[in-house]
Structure 1
Amino acid sequence: MMKTALAPAITLREKFCYGLGDTSANIFMGMTMMFLSIYYTDVFRLSPVAMGSLFLLARFIDAIGDPLIGLLADRTRSPRGRYRPWLLWFALPYGLSCAAVFFSPELSATGRIVYAYVTYMALVLSFSLVVVPYVSLLGAMSVDSDERIQINAIRFPLAKLAYLLCSLFVPALIALFDNDILGYRAVMCGIGVLSTLLVLICYFNTQERVPPQSVPAIGVREQFRHLLQNDQALILFAAQAVVMVMNTLKFGAAAYFVKYVLQMPATFLSLMLTAASVAGIVAPLVTGYLLRRGRIKRIPLLVYSQLASAVITLAMGFTPASAVWPHLWLFVSATLMAELIAVILWASVADVADYGFYRFGVRINGMIGGGMLFSTKAGMAVGGALVGYILAWFGYQPDNATAALPEQLPAFRVLYIWLPACCLFLTAGILRFYRLDEQKTRDVMMRAQDETGRAEAKRHGL
């Protein structure tokens, strides 16, 4: 589609630097899903129940704030834009809080719980203050749905690079230290610095093209009303929540499954997570290629990829524990299929915002971006809580973390295989009701471009 004067082509450099913002965000996501559960139970010595309650309470409290942060971002007026200034303001607190979570001071049992709650809440709050505006920024960079998908085709490999860095280097770097506590302290300080730098690179190398004047100021209640009336946004949020439950369960339980069921060392876990991270990098490229070449349409890809991943995940349940290499390949294959939808889901945040603008004549990109982050964190909260509660139900004790009793082994299969497979089937069912296919998004985009053009002309007095 031809670009108008109001929407010049976005350079590869800007797309790349925008993607680095998601690399930073996914360092938090990767550390949370891959290592935080086993860190809290086996290193920091929280009980599984305390850990599960922490994930559930902290994430839900934080998730409620995401739409409010989006509302504030929508109302921001700055020479730097609506959303970019937030990256500058909160990059440093985000990096510092990332390091603080893993500092692991010597405290009593009650002190450890308090410290975990305070630092984890600080992390998820600072994460929201960066990522909600970051997600909304995509809609302000371009009104072209196809271009947004191509931006995400670059962004998501860079986002998954964070998982690769976490899975490949974090266990090896921690192992260099005399004990895990010192290892986590040093490695996470470095990760905090890296996270801050990546956010700042994104800030300094992107720009907003959709003028703020095209976003009418409306009240909080009115914004929430329009959000709840946007049926396609609600479908998107529901699908994302279930996806994140699945990811948190699967990746959070992977360390336990490898350690106790497969009875393999941490090096095998690192290999498995690294291979899955590579699959996560490849998947967005595959999605971009399939869509550009017209091999498959958006909505069938959303549905069928999740069904395929569900079937592969179920196959792991019937694979003997002694077949460690088939387990690795099934895990990687299931991850690849599941990740094919990530590009479309996150590009659709801007699409459903345009759809709401098309229906109601108001633009609430920040509120919808906050809603997507709400769904992401709510899913992670439920998934993290399930990990803790199911481990506690089966009697798992972190003080006896060198071995698991035979009656505890089913817990790891439930968390790693059966519940993720159910989530994948549910995601496919939800996405069957999503209607913003190529033609519909093209119609919505044309309306958004027309409105943007009129707003820009009015701004210049034309």
Structure 2
Amino acid sequence: MTTKRIAGNGHLSVMEKAGYSLGDLAANLVFQTLMTYLAYFYTDIYGLSPGHASLVMLIVGLVAAFGFNPVIGALADRTHSRWGKFRPWILWTSVPLGLIAILAFSTPDFSYKGKLIYAVVTYTLLLLFYAANNLPYSALSGVITGSMQERNSLSSYRFVAVMFAQFFVQVFMLSIIERAGGGSKAAGIEKVMTWLAVIGTVMLIITFLTTKERIIPKPEQKSGLKQDLQDLLKNRPWIIMLLLTTLVFVTLAMKGGAYVYYFKNYVDKERLTIFLRPILQFLSEIGMDFFGEDPVSAGFGLFNAGGIIFMIVGITLSKRFADKYGKRDVFGICLFISTLFILAFVCYPPRFIGLMFISQILHGFFYGLTIPLLWAMIADVADYSEWKNNRRATAIIFSAMMVGLKVGLSLGSALLTWILDLYQYVPNGGAQPVAAVNGVKMLVSVFPSIPFLTGVGLLCFYRIDKKTEAQIENDLRQKRNS
């Protein structure tokens, strides 16, 4: 039992890598908005209590993770079309994903109970179409090429695009929402999401048109869903990557969603204004006056900008380090160092603005080195499964990782609003209780550090090191060529 290969030496053109990366840029216009603003949208714009927002994000997220992803993964692996297995899904879901993203961030004039029901329905549909789009998209990276080095390169292209989406959402979006709504954040976020939906749909169609599937299982490799699941449960690297993915996204959702509360309720606004004055003056002089006069929006945007810019620097260096030292070792060491700079926030009083920005920059750089490696390692796990079992089931392996992503996102977002409620946070309140302010500080420091450090420990048990990577790639190449 072998795998048909239509890839030559596995080399990918710059156009195909760039076209593929646009798919994640599009998806992350939605995903980064969920991580950064969904909790804030539900509590301070849409009007749900923190407790109810927590329940919506947790229950819907877990249902989506364990219900949608395995089904879509199994369906994608069994899709047969002239365009391949995974590319058709990107095309079919491009328009529906954009439409439901608009609806999910709309604020209809319903009763409180009606708003709660509307939030459940729209968030469920959004996660369904996100899974139907992004899971096949992620699996596509495992069949574009059989070269692990080319996958490292493809992941670097992909996650530079992700960083551009993250940069827009976390740096400019809050200011744009306030301006677009003319003082109404509800109207502003609807307008912004409409434009993002249009742009994202076009990008997904470009991804469909510029990519090609080359690793195609032969008919004798077909296996049932039961066999695929049995293979997964015997795949120790897959189990570790599932847990690692979950832990990573718990942290990302928790701290990413907490920063807007941090700047609104913890950071000293007078000191922040003084710190930002020369930066904003310089930006104004060169025609880049994006942030207006609000120190919270400007501080939040520039704080995220520093982290993201250095994440992009880390991403561009990731392939070089991974090729030299192996994905596992680079991932573990850099994840540990990046966590230290998250923990540092617990030590900073509200007036220590400079240290906050420096820690965010250094965290961004070291975490950026890990970003492309996560998905490249999951593609390696698909190769490991084929190497061990002589069967390839790419999408179901990626679907399991998407379960981890959705569970992590749901747990992180739910923990964020639950902890805010636990610390007596008052939505749309003026001065917050001391307990709430301390809770916000913990949400950007101690609490998000725990999942990252646990993930570092898990990597000690991950067996696909640099030597094993080379052996798997060589053995599979010989099988495919024969």
TM (norm. structure 1) is: 0.94
Q: Residue in 1 aligned with 2:309?
A: 278
The code of the aligned residue for 1:21 comes to: G
Contact 1:158 1:281 in 2 (8 A): no
SS at the partner of 2:381? helix
Q: Does 1:418 align with 2:446?
A: yes
Q: Deviation string for 1:66-105 (max 9, x for gaps)?
A: 1221111111111100100001111101111111111111
Distance 2:203 2:36 in 1: 21
- Per the TM alignment, residue 315 of structure 1 is displaced from its structure 2 partner at its CA by 1.6
- Per the TM alignment, residue 5 of structure 1 is displaced from its structure 2 partner at its CA by 6.0
Q: Residue in 2 aligned with 1:449?
A: 477
Distance 1:54 1:66 in 2: 18
Q: Residue in 2 aligned with 1:336?
A: 365
Q: Residue in 2 aligned with 1:164?
A: 167
- Pairs aligned (count): 449
Q: Residue in 2 aligned with 1:76?
A: 79
Q: Residue in 2 aligned with 1:392?
A: 421
- Per the TM alignment, residue 395 of structure 1 is displaced from its structure 2 partner at its CA by 1.6
Structure 1 unmatched runs, 5+: 455-462
- Per the TM alignment, residue 419 of structure 1 is displaced from its structure 2 partner at its CA by 1.0
The code of the aligned residue for 1:272 comes to: F
Contact 2:313 2:368 in 1 (8 A): no
Q: Residue in 1 aligned with 2:55?
A: 53
SS at the partner of 2:215? coil
- Per the TM alignment, residue 452 of structure 1 is displaced from its structure 2 partner at its CA by 2.8
The code of the aligned residue for 1:96 comes to: L
Q: Does 1:63 align with 2:94?
A: no
SS at the partner of 1:245? helix
Q: Residue in 2 aligned with 1:126?
A: 129
Distance 2:333 2:86 in 1: 34
- Per the TM alignment, residue 47 of structure 1 is displaced from its structure 2 partner at its CA by 0.7
Q: Deviation string for 1:193-240 (max 9, x for gaps)?
A: 111111111000000111242672211111111111110011111111
The code of the aligned residue for 1:115 comes to: Y
SS at the partner of 1:398? coil
Structure 2 unmatched runs, 5+: 270-295
SS at the partner of 1:432? helix
SS at the partner of 1:211? strand
- Per the TM alignment, residue 7 of structure 1 is displaced from its structure 2 partner at its CA by 4.0
The code of the aligned residue for 1:277 comes to: I
Contact 1:258 1:269 in 2 (8 A): yes
- Per the TM alignment, residue 450 of structure 1 is displaced from its structure 2 partner at its CA by 3.0
- Per the TM alignment, residue 453 of structure 1 is displaced from its structure 2 partner at its CA by 3.0
Q: Residue in 2 aligned with 1:437?
A: 465
Distance 2:6 2:233 in 1: 32
Q: Does 1:103 align with 2:134?
A: no
The code of the aligned residue for 2:110 comes to: L
Q: Residue in 2 aligned with 1:12?
A: 14
Distance 1:345 1:166 in 2: 22
Contact 1:215 1:364 in 2 (8 A): no
Query: In percent, how many aligned pairs have the same letter?
Result: 27
Corresponding residue to 1:246 among 251, 254, 264: 251
Q: Deviation string for 1:256-284 (max 9, x for gaps)?
A: 11111104412111111222222232221
The code of the aligned residue for 2:318 comes to: T
Contact 2:22 2:161 in 1 (8 A): yes
Q: Residue in 2 aligned with 1:404?
A: 432
TM (norm. structure 2) is: 0.90
The code of the aligned residue for 1:227 comes to: L
Distance 1:182 1:101 in 2: 13
Q: Does 1:189 align with 2:202?
A: no
Q: Does 1:213 align with 2:218?
A: yes
